[in-house]
Amino acid sequence: MAFHSSLRNHTDRPRRQAWRHWPTVVTVVALLLIWQVWVDAAHPPVTMVSSPTQIVRSAIISWPTLWPATCMTFIEGVCGFAIACVLGVLLGIGIHCSRTAYAALFPLLTAAQTLPLISIAPLFLIWFGFEPVGKIVIVAVFAIFPIVVQTMRGLAAVPAFYDDVAMTCGASRAWTLFHVDLRVAARQIFGGVRVSAAYVFATAATAEYLGARSGLGIWLQAAYNSFQTPRIFAATFVIIIMTGLLLLAVHAVERLTIGAPADDDDPDAQ
């Protein structure tokens, strides 16, 4: 009986997850339709507001230049995000394990998040020039903080009895940290990774806008200077789509490594 109940739950779970996304799909489609109808009826200046069909048409026409710019921003965002993930988890572990590291590093990380991008980007432009490496570093700097914080919070929230059981069985402190504590804290760490992923491409494009050789930021700047509003919307939607794909990738990695959130439930609790 329990086997059939478990099998039914695993079968129904994808269906429930699919139904969970229907409100989002319906809302987005409704907003796009309202947007299109309003532009067609009100006829606002194309330099002020563009309809969804005008945006799609502009993206198709300008695709030979939009695609290379998208690739550059994508590379900068993904590289900076990968660096932030690795360093963020390592820094979070170090700050969690050492009060000295917490006192020395955490205030600096917090201060780095208070710096406006418009003030720090010129410095990176002086240091790294117009090359992509400067944008990668900027993305890493602004993406690392949520990962560090959530790693610290996740490790601090691990119940003490997990460590007690592991060390009673002969495990070392280091083994317990990397094989027990990180596994228990992984769900919260992925929460920080997801927060960072939501901003990496926008950060990369903004850094490009302030100075770069290519990328969506430069593409947006050219569109703005020539009053090409449909192109501005097209680049904006490209950033949104890339961000959504990155969030889906983070979700997939989370599912593959630690399973679905429902797998954390105690099967004996019912």
Same domain, 33 and 158: no
Q: With respect to residue 270, please indicate whether it lies within any of the assigned structural domains.
A: no
Same domain, 10 and 55: no
Same domain, 3 and 84: no
Between these two residues, 14 and 165, which has the higher pLDDT value? 165
Mean pLDDT, rounded, for 171-175 = 78
Which two three-digit tokens encode residue 138? 């900027």
Q: Specify the pLDDT at position 209.
A: 87
pLDDT of residue 244 exceeding 70, the answer is yes
Range scoring the smallest mean pLDDT among 23-32, 64-73, 186-195, 238-247: 23-32
Same domain, 74 and 32: no
Q: With respect to residue 196, please indicate whether it lies within any of the assigned structural domains.
A: yes
Same domain, 239 and 171: yes
What tens digit of pLDDT does each residue of 71-130 get?
Answer: 999 999 999 999 999 999 999 999 988 888 888 888 888 887 788 888 888 888 888 888
Mean pLDDT, rounded, for 209-237 = 90
pLDDT of residue 11 exceeding 60, the answer is no
Which two three-digit tokens encode residue 150? 């959530």
Mean of the per-residue pLDDT values of the chain: 85
Q: Specify the pLDDT at position 87.
A: 94
Mean pLDDT, rounded, for 23-35 = 90
pTM > 0.75: yes
Contact 205, 132 (CB under 8 A): no
Q: Specify the pLDDT at position 270.
A: 47
Same domain, 191 and 102: yes
Q: With respect to residue 241, please indicate whether it lies within any of the assigned structural domains.
A: yes
Q: With respect to residue 21, please indicate whether it lies within any of the assigned structural domains.
A: yes
Q: With respect to residue 269, please indicate whether it lies within any of the assigned structural domains.
A: no
Same domain, 55 and 38: no
Q: Specify the pLDDT at position 166.
A: 78
Same domain, 80 and 34: no
Contact 58, 114 (CB under 8 A): no
Torsions phi, psi for 209 (to 5 deg): -60, -35
Q: Specify the pLDDT at position 98.
A: 85
Q: Specify the pLDDT at position 14.
A: 60
Q: Specify the pLDDT at position 38.
A: 92
pLDDT of residue 39 exceeding 80, the answer is yes
Q: With respect to residue 208, please indicate whether it lies within any of the assigned structural domains.
A: yes
Range scoring the smallest mean pLDDT among 17-31, 93-107, 145-159: 17-31
Same domain, 33 and 63: no
DSSP-assigned states of every residue in the chain: -HHHHHHHHHHHHHHHHHHHTHHHHHHHHHHHHHHHHHHHHH---TTT---HHHHHHHHHHTHHHHHHHHHHHHHHHHHHHHHHHHHHHHHHHHHHH-HHHHHHHHHHHHHHHHS-HHHHHHHHHHHHTTSHHHHHHHHHHHHHHHHHHHHHHHHHTS-HHHHHHHHHTT--HHHHIIIIIHHHHHHHHHHHHHHHHTTHHHHHHHHHHTS-SSSHHHHHHHHHHTT-HHHHHHHHHHHHHHHHHHHHHHHHHHHHHH--GGGGS-TT--
Q: What angle do CA 40, 45, 50 make, to 5 degrees?
A: 60
pLDDT of residue 237 exceeding 50, the answer is yes
Q: With respect to residue 164, please indicate whether it lies within any of the assigned structural domains.
A: yes
Q: With respect to residue 211, please indicate whether it lies within any of the assigned structural domains.
A: yes
Q: Specify the pLDDT at position 7.
A: 46
Q: What angle do CA 142, 131, 193 make, to 5 degrees?
A: 25
Q: What is the CATH number of the domain that holds 135?
A: 1.10.3720.10
Same domain, 230 and 147: yes
Number of domains observed in the structure of the chain: 2
Same domain, 177 and 85: yes
Q: Specify the pLDDT at position 9.
A: 53
Same domain, 232 and 101: yes
Mean pLDDT, rounded, for 207-211 = 86
- In which domain, by residue range, is 188 found? 51-264
